[in-house]
Amino acid sequence: MRKGLLAIAVTLLMGVVGCQGTRVAPPGVTWVERTISIADLAKRLGMRIDEQDDTFVVLRNGTDTVLIFTHDGGRFFVNGKPIGPVGKVRKVSGAVHVQEALVEKIRSQLGTAAPPARPPGTTRRATIVVDPGHGGRDPGTTVAAGVYEKSINLKVASKLAGILRRRGHAVTMTRQDDQAVELEERAAIANRRGADLFVSIHSDSVPDPSAHGFTVYIANGASHQSQAVAQAIVRAMQTTGQQSRGVRRGDYRVLVKTTGPAVLIELGYLSNRREARKLQDDAFQNRLAIAIAAGIGDYLR
């Protein structure tokens, strides 16, 4: 009789807990978090997959844009606003799956972080000059394997330019191959184009092999716009897993000679073995380019 009453009590207790929406795993049992594919995530949010590769996915509808980084430690953005971590990501038969809980996390932000209305006379399309540092007879710094900085800069800059063009911006690169371009000419290209933004891409090197992380530079007398875009890029690049060294000031000629907003990005340290390997990795280069583009997009809103 006591056993029967105990069984009924346990059943009732489980029913109450279930009604409250809280499940407690029995000893030795671990609940498995439900996951869904990116395609299902888009469908449940009423959005479409607009762009996707091995490290990110962009979802869009008529009013919202969601950027999800699908790598370990990735984060997600809604209308350019950083929201939070994506959580566990896994691949099932080649398709990316995320935690089902991400649906409500994103849905709660849709429409709430929409960009403000633009002032009359402004345009959504920006003119951007992307400057791959060094080139030709000027290799920049090197890594032990003989890889030149100029090559890494060009690869990341080309990826960045491609992303920005797909988003409707008018993009000019100061060089598109391994050629030498004088520093003054790089700035002059931006000035002739009347660029809304000049972005110079570099990789760093110092005697200390433990130094690591990315840095965004602006001129000592930088405008408010240059400061704003630098901060936006720093926020976005923090999603890549790279250590941030923040915004710093330095009177590099390309920054001083450019009349419009200008930043110089040091992607990381080629003098650091671990970071040098990452900077040579195509997938990581994509991740950097995507993050820089996200920062630029946040600034342009």
Rounded to whole angstroms, the Cα distance separating 298 from 301 reads 5
266 is catalytic: yes
Estimate to the nearest angstrom the gap between the alpha carbon of 185 and the chain centroid: 29
Q: Tokens for 200, please give them.
A: 């110079």
Distance CA 247, CA 9 (A): 62
Q: How far is CA 56 from the centre of its chain?
A: 9
Instruction: Give me the catalytic one of 33, 104, 149, 266.
Output: 266
Element (DSSP H or E) covering residue 110: none
- Where would I find the H helices in 167-281? 183-193, 224-237, 253-256, 273-279
Strand pairing category for 65-69 and 75-78 = antiparallel
Can you tell me the distance from the alpha carbon of 163 to that of 79, in angstroms, rounded to the nearest whole number? 16
Q: How many degrees, rounded to 5, is the angle at CA 90 between CA 298 and CA 77?
A: 10
List active site positions: 266
